[in-house]
């Protein structure tokens, strides 16, 4: 089972963010939190916040879902897949069904000590464009870059 968290439009370049994100890839989630706590970079705080959000999402799923709720949700989704004609909605239901079924068959059920960072990426976002005055009445561009942070935790 996988849980993901995304932080969008962080006011830092993706290049600076990737230096920290590479350090936690493949680590245990709790170990990654400990690594980020000692890294003295601004980007480490953003990545730690995203990782904490992913862990909180996993804990929420773990506490809220019991066996009867999962089986009820699976049967509801199967009936929705059969009855809907909209292919986009049907594909969404199929993705949700796959997620519920993987949680139902998972042995570890998103235990925090079994979670590991499967994927951690920093992608570029839209950049703000500003201009600074230059010689002879011209202007030079300034790009204020943003990025998106995506962390996927898996119990496999």
User: What pLDDT, on a 0 to 100 scale, did the predictor assign at position 110?
Assistant: 81
Helices (H), the chain: 14-24, 29-38, 42-64, 67-83, 87-105
Q: Which residues contact 117 (CB under 8 A, 6 or more apart)?
A: 24, 25, 26, 27, 28, 29, 32, 51, 151, 152, 153
Q: Is the domain defined by 2-154 classed in CATH 3.90.470.10?
A: yes
CA 41 – CA 63 distance, rounded (Å): 33
What are the mean pLDDT values of the chain's consecutive 10-residue runs (156 residues total)?
A: 94 97 96 96 97 94 79 91 92 89 76 93 97 97 98 91
Structure tokens at 58: 């996993």
pLDDT tens, residue by residue, 43-66: 999 999 999 999 999 998 888 777
pLDDT tens, residue by residue, 125-145: 999 999 999 999 999 999 999
User: What pLDDT, on a 0 to 100 scale, did the predictor assign at position 103?
Assistant: 76
Domain residue limits, the chain: 2-154
């Amino acid at each position: 089972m996988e849980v993901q968290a995304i932080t969008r439009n962080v006011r830092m370049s993706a290049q600076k963010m990737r230096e920290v994100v590479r350090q936690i890839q493949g680590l245990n989630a709790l170990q990654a939190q400990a690594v980020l706590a000692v890294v003295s970079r601004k980007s480490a705080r953003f990545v730690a916040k995203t990782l904490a959000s992913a862990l909180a999402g996993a804990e929420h799923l773990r506490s809220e879902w019991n066996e009867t709720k999962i089986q009820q949700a699976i049967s509801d989704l199967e009936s929705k897949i059969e009855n809907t004609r909209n292919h986009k909605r049907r594909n969404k239901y199929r993705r949700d069904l796959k997620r519920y079924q993987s949680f139902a068959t998972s042995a570890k059920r998103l235990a925090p000590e079994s979670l590991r960072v499967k994927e951690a990426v920093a992608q570029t976002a839209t950049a703000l464009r500003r201009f600074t005055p230059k010689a002879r009445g011209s202007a030079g561009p300034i790009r204020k870059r943003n990025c998106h942070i995506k962390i996927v935790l898996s119990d496999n």
